[in-house]
Amino acid sequence: MTEEEYISQRLDDQIDWYSKKSSSCQKRYKALRVIEIVAAALIPFLSGMGEKVSFGQWIVGALGVMIALVAAASSLFKYHENWIQYRVTSEQLKHEKFLFATRSSPYNDQTCFQLLVQRVEALISKEAAAWAHVIKQPTKIAQEV
């Protein structure tokens, strides 16, 4: 595999994937937080309205359930953690790409391409191992219960 092939087929592909996943997780995290904030803000408002709002107690109860469900989904899917981790990985990969493109240290000798491949694959492998660890956590917790 040539340098150009590796950069376009592997490195650029991974940078794009991590960037898109980071953006997706960020949007989902923020959407869930907005829902949670709005629902939490409506509860005291509706409670203060008393009997003026038809089915007010039911609505307040439903908002409380919604907050619990949103918090559980946020915790389960780890959008916030994944957003940050995917962004960090994407930026680290970009950093390696630009150091390599400019032949800056540590990419300023004859083995620069091999070093790029090793460092990029180590970053990707580290991210995959971290993801596998996070995925296994709910299973471990479920076994304890």
User: What would the pLDDT profile of 14-64 be if each residue is shown by its tens digit?
Assistant: 999 999 999 999 999 999 999 999 999 999 999 988 888 888 889 999 999
DSSP class of residue 107 equals S
pTM of structure: 0.82
pLDDT, mean of residues 62-88 = 95
119-131 pLDDT, tens digit each: 999 999 988 887 7
* CA R_g for the chain: 23
Q: What range does the domain containing 54 cover?
A: 3-144
The CA distance from 15 to 25, in Å, is 15
Backbone φ and ψ for 54, nearest 5 degrees, come out as -60, 135
Listed residue (9, 6, 14, 13) closest to 117, CA to CA: 6
The CA distance from 107 to 54, in Å, is 69
For 78-111, where are the alpha helices, taking DSSP H only? 79-101
Q: Which two tokens stand for residue 77?
A: 């899917």
Of residues 138 and 48, more confidently modeled: 48
CA 134, 139, 141, 144 torsion-angle sign: negative
Number of domain units in the chain: 1
pLDDT of residue 143: 52
The CA distance from 31 to 92, in Å, is 27
> Residue written as tokens 């957003």?
83
Q: Give the per-residue SS3 of 46-76.
A: HHHHHHHCCCHHHHHHHHHHHHHHHHHHHHH
